[in-house]
Amino acid sequence: MKEMKKISMIEKYTVPPESNYAKLDANENLVIDKEYLTKIALDNLRKIDLRKYPIGLYEQLYRRLSQHLKINQRSLVVGSGSDQIIDLLLTLIGNGRRMTSIYPTFSYFKTRCQLHGIAFSEISLSSIDNSLDIDEFIADAKKSHAIYLCSPNNPTGNQFVKSDILHILDTLKNNLVIIDEAYVEFSKYSLTKYVKQYPNLVILRTFSKALGLAAVRVGYMIANEQLAELFRYRIQLPYAVNSISLSIAMSLISRPKKIQESISLIKHERERLYHALSKIKSIDVYSSDANFLFIRCDTKYSRIMKALDNSKIIVKGLGNIKNYGNCVRITVGTKKMNNKILSALKDIH
Ligand SMILES: Cc1ncc(COP(=O)(O)O)c(C=O)c1O
């Protein structure tokens, strides 16, 4: 079948095998206490009637999220991770359409565009400071139906200039503008409040990163009420998220103190790791607005990957990125894990 042949050409998604290594490859929050989350999960499990479809819990999560974000609950749509919402958005954009994005960015998004038959045009970031040429981006986006920007960007870690993004929104009123804020809790600004002003803006958020619930699979989108309602009642599956996940997510955002503490600690550790790694002359570390560091390793790539592997640390080896050379992305972990990274790399100069 022609379709199957086409799909088999799409880059395969691979996950590392389960191991006892320090897992610093997927930007999870490994600082928040595991037992604290387990207790929340067990307390919730006892309250759930597993025989029933999740109905009331949806309403409760929407209410709490709306208080947490200070945004009308009619602007919110939850899904099974933001990955699932991305798929719905691409279904809406549709086969044969065109998307403008940046390079490098969240690779899953590009492969899903390929699966949905959406042409993916990418504007390269500057390898000097990861900045985006806004004029070049807008010129390309004028030929597209939608745009995707990750803010802060994965894997480069930076947020773009806020006024530049607002300029994009003002200029491209006919394009669907998807801003992926998966790492926004670690950054300088969020565009959440602008959904009222820009009916073409969709913001993606997740419980998987700063909130420490990657296993629970809850993500959500924020959009103007009309678009959000279309998604909630017509496009999204009626029960895309299960009761256990809904209740854990809801309980956690009702007690934001522990999350805030872990975010502050990660941001502090990010700066410490950044300064320590910046002393290694043969690599370039970029400053980050997220919970990971993007590092250009050039000829030291294999040595670095091997040294980390020998110390039982998994990072995201990105390989060769056009204009950047060989790069790795390292999640900022606990102080102990970060010290382990520094000691693994102590012989690299
Ligand atoms: C930029 C970005 N968006 C979305 C996701 C997916 O998040 P979720 O776990 O909510 O599907 C990730 C996960 O790596 C990500 O990096």
In this predicted structure, the answer to whether residue 142 has a pLDDT above a threshold of 80 is yes
| Predicted confidence band of residue 67 (pLDDT cuts 50, 70, 90) | very high
The response to whether residue 289 sits with its C-beta less than 6 Å from ligand 1 reads no
* Domain end call among 254, 272, 304: 254
Task: Please give the share of the chain, as a percent, with pLDDT higher than 90.
Answer: 93
| Predicted confidence band of residue 17 (pLDDT cuts 50, 70, 90) | confident
**Looking at per-residue confidence, does 9 or 22 come out higher?**
22
Q: Which atom of ligand 1 is nearest to the CA of 86?
A: 4
CATH number of the domain that residue 117 is part of: 3.40.640.10
Same structural domain for residues 28 and 145?
Answer: no
Residue 19 confidence (pLDDT)? 82
Same structural domain for residues 61 and 25?
Answer: no
Measured CA to CA in angstroms, residue 231 lies from 42, 225, 228, 240, 246 at distances of 31, 10, 5, 12, 18
The response to whether residue 206 sits with its C-beta less than 6 Å from ligand 1 reads yes
Distance 82 CA to ligand 1 centre (A): 6
Calpha distance 231→205 (Å, rounded): 15
**Does the residue 349 lie in any domain?**
no
Residue 139 confidence (pLDDT)? 98
Distance 276 CA to ligand 1 centre (A): 27
In this predicted structure, the answer to whether residue 239 has a pLDDT above a threshold of 90 is yes
Q: Which atom of ligand 1 is nearest to the CA of 214?
A: 9
Q: What is the tally of structural domains in the chain?
A: 2
In this predicted structure, the answer to whether residue 13 has a pLDDT above a threshold of 80 is no
Compute the average pLDDT of residues 169-181: 97
Residue 9 confidence (pLDDT)? 81
Same structural domain for residues 283 and 168?
Answer: no
| Predicted confidence band of residue 3 (pLDDT cuts 50, 70, 90) | confident
Q: Which atom of ligand 1 is nearest to the CA of 27?
A: 14
| Predicted confidence band of residue 8 (pLDDT cuts 50, 70, 90) | confident
Compute the average pLDDT of residues 178-200: 97
Task: Please give the share of the chain, as a percent, with pLDDT higher than 70.
Answer: 100
The response to whether residue 208 sits with its C-beta less than 6 Å from ligand 1 reads yes
| Predicted confidence band of residue 1 (pLDDT cuts 50, 70, 90) | confident
Residue 7 confidence (pLDDT)? 80
Residue 15 confidence (pLDDT)? 74
Contacting residues for 195 by C-beta, under 8 A, at least 6 apart: 71, 75, 201, 202, 203, 222, 223, 224
Q: Whose CA is nearest to atom 15 of ligand 1?
A: 182
CATH number of the domain that residue 278 is part of: 3.90.1150.10
Distance 72 CA to ligand 1 centre (A): 24
Compute the average pLDDT of residues 53-77: 95
Residue 303 confidence (pLDDT)? 96
What does the block give as tokens for 95? 């086969």
Q: Whose CA is nearest to atom 12 of ligand 1?
A: 182
Compute the average pLDDT of residues 187-206: 97
Same structural domain for residues 72 and 208?
Answer: yes
Cα-Cα end-to-end distance for the chain? 53
Residue 304 lies in domain:
2-33+257-344
Same structural domain for residues 274 and 239?
Answer: no
Distance 147 CA to ligand 1 centre (A): 17
Contacting residues for 263 by C-beta, under 8 A, at least 6 apart: 29, 185, 186, 210
In this predicted structure, the answer to whether residue 180 has a pLDDT above a threshold of 90 is yes
Residue 18 confidence (pLDDT)? 76
Distance 150 CA to ligand 1 centre (A): 10
Please write the tens of the pLDDT for every residue from 27-50.
Answer: 999 999 999 999 999 999 999 999
Residue 14 confidence (pLDDT)? 75
